[in-house]
Amino acid sequence: MSQLKCLNPIILNEGREKSLQRHHPWIFSKAIAKVLGDYEKGATVTVLDSQNNFLCYGLYSPESQIRVRALSFDESVKIDDNLIKSRIENAILMRKRVFDRGNDGVRLVSSEGDLLPGLIVDKYNEYLVISISSCGMERFYKTIVKTLQSNFKDCSIYERSDTKSRLKEGLQKRCGVVSGKEPEDTIYVKEENSVAIPVDIKNGHKTGAYLDQRLSRIRLGALSKGASVLNCFSYTGGFGLWALKGGASKIENVDVSDLALKAAKTGVAFNHLDPGRCKFIKKDVFEYLREQVEKGVKYDVVVLDPPKFAESAANLKKACRGYQDINRLGLMLVKKGGHLLTFSCSGLVDPALFQKIVADAALDAKVDGRVIATLRQDEDHVVSLPCPETFYLKGLDIMVM
Ligand code: SAH
């Protein structure tokens, strides 16, 4: 392919084409030999190998470590508004199964998982929340909004483009109503035709809720009959609500966030569940776990759903120590025959490493634990086959013997 003929060519260093040949979508700055022009932020570029062979079209992020995000590996595809529109519509179609299960909170677009790097769209009842985190996607803002409006005529759209990664892309934060009405401070979103979880679209984490944990919340419900449950890193108490619905005798929600615990309390009332069976504890989880171990308290089920400890490769070791620490303490708090549901949402901690960390924690705790099930993000958080980083949320259901 002639460099001159193609649109905004970028040439890779020799040998750096391999991951692209396997259709992994990220091109890091270190892989690039030459950028043949002063391309605009978010421009469509053509990535070529060192011999000028076509590898992919992608979107250019001049200030980010991930310099290009691939959009198509097919040379005949046109990178335009129609491509983005059809990918959004395909993503929406794929979610039918999750809606049909009786969920009113569904991730409609899951970034790389839907071949739309840098775009998240979540639907909560009659609100769509968009979050754009790359300057390439930013260019398609109007198309994104128009496509969503035409597919969901009765929905309001709110924007939560306030991720840290936006700063790395040289973009400012942007939040607010895009169209329709402003969301109430807390709305309640039904899961599986059952429990409704509290969601704060304007000020909550991410776009308002952790929809990715839906499958594991259901699992906890099924394990909870008559059980005492400790829900660590509870956020707005989704796991706790499912435990109560499943017949838990007692549930303790622990989180450092006042706002999250306040919302968690309203969730109990909204679902007509018994507030007498729940405690809301504002405390650092590490500290609370240590205190309970010292007191010799035991629970039937302990849930550990921490935030992302491994933010970068540089802090991976420290993150692993953090995971091992909470898992050791968590395992010490589980009764014989009881369960630990433990998770990591760090993309850098793969399932094998996570299992090793939990195995080491069990050794330290002198606990014999068995893996009853492996847990994962629900299917609307689509995993891209060539991009394993999109399988970020993994968990284990450990039975203590
Ligand atoms: N399990 C939740 C999501 C958890 S998100 C759900 O299903 O919705 C992680 C939560 O951990 C956040 O609410 C955050 O406030 C809390 N958190 C972070 N560090 C903490 C710490 N050291 N102690 C207690 N809570 C913490």
The full set of domain ranges for the chain reads 9-72, 81-179, 210-400
Instruction: Return the SS3 of 137.
Output: helix
From 219, 231, 256, 346, give the residue whose CB has the most ligand 1 atoms within 8 Å, as the site to mutate.
256
- Tell me the two tokens of residue 102: 């009786």
Angle between helices 285-295 and 316-332 (to 10 degrees): 30
> Could you tell me what percent of the chain has a pLDDT over 70?
99
Residue 297 in this model has a pLDDT that exceeds 70 = yes
Q: Which residue from 199, 235, 393 has its CB within 8 A of the most atoms of ligand 1, so it is best to mutate?
A: 235
Kindly list the distances between the CA atom of residue 335 and the CA atoms of 211, 293, 368, 388, 395, in Å, as whole numbers in the listed order.
Answer: 29, 12, 11, 35, 20
Structure tokens at 278: 């729940």
Ligand 1 atom with the smallest distance to the CA of 285 is 23
Distance CA 310, CA 14 (A): 31
Could you give the angle at the alpha carbon of 69 between the alpha carbons of 124 and 354, nearest 5°? Answer: 70
Q: Please give the distance, rounded to the nearest whole angstrom, from the Cα atom of residue 343 to the centre of ligand 1.
A: 12
256: Cβ below 6 Å to ligand 1? yes
List the residue whose alpha carbon is closest to atom 22 of ligand 1. 284
Most informative mutation of 122, 211, 233, 392 for ligand 1 (most atoms within 8 A of CB): 233
Is the confidence at residue 1, as pLDDT, over 80?
Answer: no
In this predicted structure, the answer to whether residue 153 has a pLDDT above a threshold of 70 is yes
Determine the pLDDT at residue 4: 57
Q: Which atom of ligand 1 is nearest to the CA of 307?
A: 9
Task: Decide whether any atom of ligand 1 lies within 6 Å of the 238 Cβ.
Answer: yes
Is any ligand 1 atom within 6 A of the Cβ of residue 204?
no
**pLDDT, position 78:** 96
Burial class of residue 159, CB neighbours in 10 A (0-12, 13-18, 19+): buried
* Cβ–ligand 1 contact at 400 (below 6 Å): no
Model pLDDT, residue 3:
60
Nearest Cα to Cα of residue 381 among 121, 176, 189, 157: 121
Q: What pLDDT is stored for residue 313 in this prediction? A: 86
Angle at 363 between CA 361 and CA 364, to 5 degrees: 65
Distances (CA, A) of 129 to 66, 193, 339, 371, 374: 25, 21, 35, 36, 30
Distance 246 CA to ligand 1 centre (A): 22
Identity of residue 101: R
pLDDT of residue 385: 97
Rounded to an integer, what distance in angstroms lies between the CA atom of residue 262 and that of residue 235? 10
For range 345-374, the mean pLDDT: 97
Report which DSSP code applies to 384. Answer: B
pLDDT at 5: 74
User: pLDDT tens across 86-123, in order?
Assistant: 999 999 999 999 999 999 999 999 999 999 999 999 99
Question: Could you report the per-residue pLDDT of 16-73, keeping only the tens digit for each?
Answer: 999 999 999 999 999 999 999 999 999 999 999 999 999 999 999 999 999 999 999 9
DSSP assignment, residue 387?
B
Give 149's Cβ-side CA count (13 Å radius).
Answer: 11
pLDDT of residue 365: 98
Q: Is the beta carbon of 274 within 6 A of some atom in ligand 1?
A: no
Q: Exposed, middle or buried, 97 (CB in 10 Å: 0-12/13-18/19+)?
A: exposed
Two tokens at 311?
Answer: 């933010």
Fold exhibited by the domain 210-400 = Rossmann fold (3.40.50)
103 pocket-lining for ligand 1 (C-beta < 6 Å): no
Report whether pLDDT(190) > 90: yes
For residue 250, the model assigns a pLDDT of 98
Mean pLDDT of 372-387: 98
Give the torsion sign (CA, 346, 347, 350, 353).
Answer: negative
Work out the mean pLDDT of the chain and round it to a whole number.
97
Query: Phi first, then psi: what are they for 261, rounded to 5°?
Result: -70, -35
Q: How far apart are the first and last CA of the chain?
A: 62
- Give CA–CA dist 317/319, Å, rounded: 5
- Give the rounded percent of residues in the chain with a pLDDT score beyond 90: 96
Number of residues assigned to the chain = 401
Decide: 323 in ligand 1 pocket, CB within 6 A.
Answer: no
Which CATH number describes the domain made up of 9-72?
2.30.130.10
Residue at 231: amino acid letter: N
Contact yes or no for 341/302 (Cβ under 8 A) = yes
Could you tell me what percentage of the chain is helix, strand and coil, using 3-state DSSP and rounding each to the nearest 5? 35, 30, 35
Ligand 1 neighbour 284 (Cβ under 6 A):
yes
Architecture of the domain whose range is 81-179: 2-Layer Sandwich (3.30)
Instruction: Give yes or no for residue 285 CB within 6 A of ligand 1.
Output: yes
Q: How many angstroms is it from 228 CA to the middle of ligand 1?
A: 20
Sign of the torsion formed by the C-alpha atoms of 103, 134, 343 and 253: negative
CA of 252 to the centre of ligand 1 (A): 13
**In the predicted model, what is the mean pLDDT of residues 237-245?**
98
Asked if residue 388 lies in contact with residue 19, where contact means CB atoms within 8 angstroms, the answer is: no
Pocket flag, ligand 1, residue 233 (CB < 6 Å): yes
Nearest C-alpha neighbor of 111 from the set 394, 347, 354, 352 = 347
Residue 216 alpha carbon, nearest atom of ligand 1: 7
At residue 332, what are phi and psi to the nearest 5 degrees? -70, -20
Per-residue pLDDT band for 311 (boundaries 50, 70, 90) equals: confident
Model pLDDT for residues 208-223, shown as the tens digit of each residue: 999 999 999 999 999 9
User: Is residue 183 a contact partner of residue 202, using CB atoms and an 8 Å limit?
Assistant: yes
Q: How far, in Å, CA of 219 to CA of 228, rounded?
A: 15
Q: What is the DSSP string of 22-89?
A: TT--EEEGGGEEEE-S-PPTT-EEEEE-TT--EEEEEEE-TTSSEEEEEEES-TT---SHHHHHHHHH
Question: For the residues of 267-297, what is the DSSP string, one character each?
Answer: HHHHTT--GGGEEEEES-HHHHHHHHHHHT-
Supply the pLDDT for residue 396: 98
For residue 312, the model assigns a pLDDT of 85
